[in-house]
Chains A and B, each alone.
Chain A
Amino acid sequence: MRESGGGGGRRSALHAFVIKELRHIVRDRQTLTILLLLPLAMVVLFGFALRNDINDVRIAIVDASPDAATIALRNRLSGNPRFSIVTVARTTDVVEPLFRRGAADIAVVFPVGFGESLSCGTSTRLLLIGDASDPNTASMMAAYVNAVIASYAADRGVNRQSVQIVPQFRMRYNPTLESVNLFVPGLIALVLMLVTALMTAISLSREKERGTLEILLVSPLRPWQIIVGKVMPYLLLAFANVITALVAAWLVFHVPFRGSVVLLLGSSVLFAMVGLALGVLIAALTSSQRAAMLGAIVVTMLPNTLLSGLIFPISSLPGWLRPVTYLAPARWFIVIARGIMLKGVGMSYLWKEHVVLVVMLLLLFTAAVKSFKARLA
């Protein structure tokens, strides 16, 4: 790392500080190697799925010709505590937008003349469309709906051997049901949190422990410059990690990428900044490297893996725990990353998640700068 700029140029304090931070990172070869290889190792290792139970299945009903039989079956579905019917429409046109918005999990499409075919005893086909961007959840939801339909058929006295209701699954967005597709966005979130929050917390608390932070605070550097200088190199590292994870996912598992790469990278930077601000705040509130490290793991890693939808679908968490997941930044980023990568949607569908992350960033950054200044009071 050679300083640019010529002769008598007055280098900015921030510039000098960032170069120092980069040197720290480059000098610590072991840590750097681990951090750079981490996304690769994780993407390769986590190529498996996890099974979970689902409690709230949101159903879209498409009923072109309502009759007694379709209404009876609809009532049976809406009467089941696991299900809620979000819409009843005449045509399948409504299904696509609902899925893209994430407002429905599964669609039940009745054929024209459903009741008539059923009473005549002729075969009829009932279509189930699942949103398989989350394959485990989708197939399980389909199985639940299927069970209700089967019990209805049985009650109608339809012979079980000659099945007359034939559910079909048409999986959207992730037609081959690769759970690794689902996992990669989550892994990116995990790696970003690890590199940003944990590493900044450690690096900043090390300065505190060694007494060099005191020297910086006595210098003309302002608190925000110290914070920005501290996190900038880690932002670069985080950026490299996202790209490694994406390339690895694409090369090893052929994970599709349907949306805008630029948008995903931009969103990753935003998410990384939230993690960095969190790391700074943790370092400011703890008094040793060890405490900062534990703090960072407890405050960032745990909620962002367990409460973010990365491992357990949020819909399978108990009701009281679900609001808590709103506090995990990764919960929002995973929705963004899955949306962009697997559904190919853009800002018009994901602006809400971005707003949440921006608000989190502003709050955390303000708190971090404040807690720094509090030491001077």
Chain B
Amino acid sequence: MSAAIDVHEMTRRFGNFTAVDAITFDVQRGEVFGFLGANGAGKTTAIKMLIGLLAPTSGRASVAGFDVATNAESVRRHIGYMSQRFSLYEDLTVRENITLYGGIYGLTDDEIRERGKALIGGLHLERAAGARVASLPLGWKQKLAFSVALLHRPAVVFLDEPTGGVDPITRRQFWEIIYDAAEGGTTILVTTHYLDEAEYCDRISIMVDGRIAAMGTPSEVKGRFGAASLDDVFTELVRPQAVAVAQHA
């Protein structure tokens, strides 16, 4: 069986600027893949191409077995996506959001009811199911958004900085949900700025200037750079660029 995400020489240029420069990687089914990099390294652009919001300038990529350039329609049916920004409707209740996304992804009424119940139960949100999402604490909102993104049981889920601004305990709980999903066979590509979170991933890649500068399991990557932590690896990789920028200025 082919990889859940298969990317080959994928490139995106905006005019003269190359945001993503011929990156190649693959993610296996059920894997939790950490997609790291400094701000502006090209992570978001790469994800946008993988979820069909942006066409690659050259190279190819397939997600859940479908080519992102020629078969974006099928890709969209088989992926879940949670963006950096909160993606649920605050003026709708928890249950209404679930009904909406279930409907958009073509679930039957029965499926929506059953999965919705399981989802609300899993998050211990029974008491808040009829409350507007705006009234929930941020951590709950994020967990809810992630669970809703999994509602249609996508093959691959893209999480763009899902834990931004969330307290450490909620982050732990969040990662437990990620692991649960991965154990169920869902492939997960996650971006984060918390390098301790990167340690939880099966494999990671670190993007610098539109290229993948390092890739492997967290311990492989640390070993290759002779570093004690991913923090050190990250600083090591990103620093030359920072110095260059400083000289330029």
A residues touching B (Cβ–Cβ < 8 Å)?
Answer: 3, 5-13, 15-17, 19-20, 23-24, 27-28, 210-212, 214-221, 375-377
Nearest-CB residue, chain B, relative to A26: B91
Is B76 engaged at the interface, CB distance under 8 Å to the other chain?
A: yes
Complex contacts, B53 vs chain A, CB 8 Å: 214, 217-218, 375-376
Contacts A8-B109, A220-B73 given; indicate if A16 touches B89 (C-beta within 8 A): no
From A5, A7, A27, A219, name the one whose CB has the most chain B CB atoms within 10 angstroms.
A219
Contact A220 B77, beta carbon cutoff 8 Å: yes
Contact A11 B89, beta carbon cutoff 8 Å: no
With beta carbons under 8 angstroms apart, the residue of B83, B99, B103, B110 that contacts A8 is B110
Smallest CB separation, A275 vs chain B (Å): 24
Is B87 engaged at the interface, CB distance under 8 Å to the other chain?
A: yes
Q: With the chains together, A3 CA to B110 CA distance in Å?
A: 13
Complex contacts, A377 vs chain B, CB 8 Å: 54-55
Complex contacts, B55 vs chain A, CB 8 Å: 376-377
CB<8 Å pairs between A and B, sample of 27: A3-B109, A6-B109, A7-B110, A8-B108, A8-B109, A10-B108, A16-B102, A17-B100, A19-B99, A19-B103, A23-B91, A23-B92, A24-B89, A24-B91, A212-B88, A212-B89, A214-B53, A214-B81, A214-B85, A215-B81, A216-B104, A218-B76, A218-B79, A219-B101, A220-B73, A221-B104, A376-B52
Nearest-CB residue, chain A, relative to B79: A218
Smallest CB separation, A8 vs chain B (Å): 5
Smallest CB separation, B214 vs chain A (Å): 28
Nearest-CB residue, chain A, relative to B113: A7
Within 8 A of A (CB), among B84-130: 84-89, 91-92, 96, 99-110
Nearest-CB residue, chain B, relative to A24: B91
Complex contacts, A28 vs chain B, CB 8 Å: 91
Given contacts A17-B104, A20-B92, 10 further A-B contacts (CB under 8 A): A10-B109, A12-B103, A16-B103, A16-B104, A211-B86, A212-B89, A214-B81, A216-B104, A220-B73, A220-B76
Report B21-54 CB contacts with A as 1/0, cut-off 8 Å: 0000000000000000000000000000001111
Within 8 A of A (CB), among B57-92: 72-73, 76-77, 79, 81, 83-89, 91-92
Contact B91 A13, beta carbon cutoff 8 Å: no
Q: Which 10 A-B pairs have the closest CB atoms?
A: A16-B103, A211-B85, A215-B87, A218-B81, A27-B91, A8-B110, A11-B103, A20-B100, A13-B104, A8-B108
With beta carbons under 8 angstroms apart, the residue of B84, B85, B105 that contacts A220 is B105
Q: With the chains together, A24 CA to B133 CA distance in Å?
A: 13
Contacts A9-B109, A376-B53 given; indicate if A214 touches B83 (C-beta within 8 A): yes
Q: With the chains together, A23 CA to B100 CA distance in Å?
A: 11
Complex contacts, B88 vs chain A, CB 8 Å: 212
Nearest-CB residue, chain A, relative to B111: A8
Contact B99 A16, beta carbon cutoff 8 Å: yes
Complex contacts, B92 vs chain A, CB 8 Å: 20, 23-24, 27
Q: With the chains together, A3 CA to B108 CA distance in Å?
A: 13
Q: With the chains together, A146 CA to B120 CA distance in Å?
A: 80
Contact A9 B100, beta carbon cutoff 8 Å: no
Q: With the chains together, A216 CA to B100 CA distance in Å?
A: 11
With beta carbons under 8 angstroms apart, the residue of B52, B84, B91, B109 that contacts A218 is B52
Q: With the chains together, A38 CA to B58 CA distance in Å?
A: 53
Complex contacts, A220 vs chain B, CB 8 Å: 73, 76-77, 104-106
Q: With the chains together, A211 CA to B105 CA distance in Å?
A: 18
Contact A13 B103, beta carbon cutoff 8 Å: yes
Q: With the chains together, A15 CA to B104 CA distance in Å?
A: 8
Q: With the chains together, A108 CA to B134 CA distance in Å?
A: 69
Contact B79 A3, beta carbon cutoff 8 Å: no
Nearest-CB residue, chain B, relative to A375: B53
Complex contacts, B54 vs chain A, CB 8 Å: 376-377
Complex contacts, A210 vs chain B, CB 8 Å: 85-86
Q: With the chains together, A211 CA to B160 CA distance in Å?
A: 12
